[in-house]
Amino acid sequence: MTAAWIGLGANLGDARSAFDAALSQLDAHPQISVLARSDLYQTAPVGQLAGNAFLNAVCRVETSLAPLELLDMLQSIEKQLGRQRGVQWGPRTLDLDLLFFGEQLIESPRLTVPHPGAWYRRFVLDPLIEIAPNWKHPLFQVSLFELRNCLQARPLQIVLTPHWSALCEASHDQIASLFPGIKLVAENSPCLTEDRATRSLWLRLLSDDWSATVAAHAKIPSQLTADLTASPGEPLEKVLDFLTALHDEPQRLDCDP
């Protein structure tokens, strides 16, 4: 049996009921046991077309299924409970993400584990910490608690390479208004501190397709390296999405209404 962590999210319909139904179906599977679930968290929508605020949660399961078999099961449950795939990062009745599958590192056309956004998305980290604070991210070998604490530093210093620096400078006022806890610093700025106590994220442009990943770094968790890629014409929107996910403070709710 392998331990796996699954993220749940929804902002359409009765999210509480959808989460309960999904967990019941998972636990009813002969090769899956649901061992723990977090409370619900109200979180900011990420994505220009995401719609209203989300409810998020995570659960821990043990399973004898292979990773892709578990992914198939999650997608089947999404479909049964009304998930319609259309706009990427759009509103949804239920989203089930496979966050971790034991300590495995998986990269395939259908599945990347650990989930690329699990290290910086507060709507994932906060509920994870509730049920697994000492679980170490398999890629960084840093606890989820440490990762979340890194993102909670205020001001959170984000070091920008030249491309992102020029882009964000043109939208400085908008970014400062939306993210008062974030301090943007150009990579070549004389005021850039090397103090290890300063939490830093590095943004840089990679290629044509959007993704957010992290590269292992000797100073983790004092410093994290985020590789942002964006398709032409929308890089600023992707930066705003990234900043929203790491800056938002999820509001913890009770599981019961």
pLDDT given for residue 46 in this prediction: 86
**CATH at residue 65:** 3.30.70.560
Does the pLDDT value for residue 4 go beyond 60? Answer: yes
122 counts as catalytic: no
Catalytic residue chosen out of the listed positions 20, 60, 72, 97: 97
Does the pLDDT value for residue 163 go beyond 80? Answer: no
Query: Are residue 132 and residue 163 in the same domain, yes or no?
Result: no
Query: Are residue 60 and residue 128 in the same domain, yes or no?
Result: yes
Beta carbons of 29 and 73 less than 8 angstroms apart: yes
Catalytic residue chosen out of the listed positions 16, 39, 83, 227: 83
228 sits in which H/E element: strand 223-229
Total of domains in the chain:
2
User: Given pLDDT bands bounded at 50, 70 and 90, which one contains residue 2?
Assistant: very high
Query: Are residue 61 and residue 181 in the same domain, yes or no?
Result: no
Query: Are residue 212 and residue 141 in the same domain, yes or no?
Result: no
Catalytic residue chosen out of the listed positions 95, 126, 241, 248: 95
39 counts as catalytic: no
109 occurs within a structural domain: yes
Q: Which residue has the higher pLDDT, 47 or 168?
A: 168
The pLDDT tens digits for 129-143 are: 999 999 999 988 889
Report how far residue 100's alpha carbon sits from residue 119's, in angstroms, rounded to the nearest whole number. 11
Q: Which residue has the higher pLDDT, 255 or 146?
A: 146
Q: How deeply is 192 buried, as exposed, middle or buried, from its count of CB atoms within 10 A (0-12, 13-18, 19+)?
A: middle
Q: What angle do CA 249, 252, 253 make, to 5 degrees?
A: 145
pLDDT given for residue 242 in this prediction: 87
Mean pLDDT of 99-125: 94
255 occurs within a structural domain: no
Does the pLDDT value for residue 188 go beyond 50? Answer: yes
pLDDT given for residue 103 in this prediction: 96
Query: Are residue 38 and residue 113 in the same domain, yes or no?
Result: yes
15 occurs within a structural domain: yes
Q: What string of DSSP letters covers 161-227?
A: -HHHHHHHHHTHHHHHHH-TTEEEEETT-TT----TTS-EEEEEE--SS-EEEEE--TTTTTEEEEE
Query: Are residue 142 and residue 188 in the same domain, yes or no?
Result: no
92 counts as catalytic: yes
Query: Are residue 117 and residue 23 in the same domain, yes or no?
Result: yes
pLDDT given for residue 241 in this prediction: 86
The pLDDT tens digits for 202-249 are: 676 654 444 444 443 434 555 566 777 655 556 788 888 889 999 999
226 occurs within a structural domain: yes
Catalytic residue chosen out of the listed positions 37, 60, 92, 148: 92
Does the pLDDT value for residue 32 go beyond 50? Answer: yes
256 occurs within a structural domain: no
Query: Are residue 158 and residue 134 in the same domain, yes or no?
Result: no
Domain endpoint, select from 100, 134, 150: 150
Structural domain harbouring 72: 2-150
172 occurs within a structural domain: yes
Query: Are residue 189 and residue 93 in the same domain, yes or no?
Result: no
pLDDT given for residue 198 in this prediction: 53
Domain endpoint, select from 135, 150, 165: 150
Query: Are residue 26 and residue 117 in the same domain, yes or no?
Result: yes
Query: Are residue 71 and residue 198 in the same domain, yes or no?
Result: no
Domain endpoint, select from 85, 120, 150: 150
The pLDDT tens digits for 82-91 are: 766 555 556 7
User: Given pLDDT bands bounded at 50, 70 and 90, which one contains residue 15?
Assistant: very high
253 occurs within a structural domain: no
173 occurs within a structural domain: yes
97 counts as catalytic: yes
35-44, 168-177, 192-201, 242-251: which range is least confident on average? 192-201
- Quote the pTM value: 0.87
Query: Are residue 16 and residue 139 in the same domain, yes or no?
Result: yes
